[in-house]
Amino acid sequence: MKRKELLVAAIENGTVIDHIPSDKLFDVVSLLHLERMKTAVTVGFNLKSKITDQGHKSIIKIADKFFTDEELNQLSVVAPNVTLCLIRDYEVAEKRQVKMPDMLEGIVHCPNAKCITNNEPMRTRFRVANRELGILQCCYCNKDLPLSEVKIVEQQ
């Protein structure tokens, strides 16, 4: 079988985040603070894909970086179906799925303008109100927030 050309160069060691919905790419970049990385980060945007609904996907390869579960699980609010590959010596050493934590701190923006979190210099906090239906609830104003409407907080 002829191996297709890789659109994004392979990395020797590090983390590959694949099947990111393209409209969520920059949320992923922001959540993982990739703009602060010192090692090589390669990004593929709007690549053809048979897996995602949109017919295209994005991919990020971060060299020499392995994230904690906590860091990676943050992605569950914007891109729950990404594929995570830990690469060692050009091989996939481990695959992981992101898992939605019970509590999301400092990640999700509360859309309620009258919520205290939008009026004080403080971190937001959401609990998962319904995992099946994908509904979060603000721990402060108690308003429900469907995952489809989640906006992540602007990172400082």
Partner 1 sequence: MENRSLVTIANHSREKIEYLIKMASAFEQNPNRRLLEGKVVATLFFEPSTRTRLSFETAANRLGARVIGFADPKVTSGTKGETLKDTIMMVSNYADLIVMRHYLEGAAQYASEVAPIPIVNAGDGANQHPSQTMLDLYTIHQTQGRLDNLDIYLVGDLKYGRTVHSLLMAMRHFNPTFHFIAPEELAMPAVYKKYCDEHGIRYIEHSDFNAETISGADILYMTRVQKERFADLDEYELVKDRYLLKRNMLTKARENMKILHPLPRVNEIEYSIDDTPHAYYFQQARNGLYAREALICDVLGITLDDVLKA
Interface residue list for partner 1 (CB under 8 A): 112, 114-117, 119-122, 138-144
Report the residue number, 5 or 120, with the smaller CB distance to partner 1.
120
CB of 120 to partner 1, least distance (A): 6
CB closer to partner 1, 72 vs 104: 104
Residue 15's contacts (CB-CB under 8 Å, 6 or more residues apart) are 61, 62, 65, 66, 67, 84, 85, 86, 87
Measured from the CB atom, the residue of 7 and 122 that comes closer to partner 1 is: 122
**Taking Cα atoms as reference points, which of 10, 12, 14, 31 lies closest to residue 66?**
14
CB of 118 to partner 1, least distance (A): 8
The strand order across the sheet containing 41-48 reads 41-48, 56-63, 14-20, 83-88, 91-96
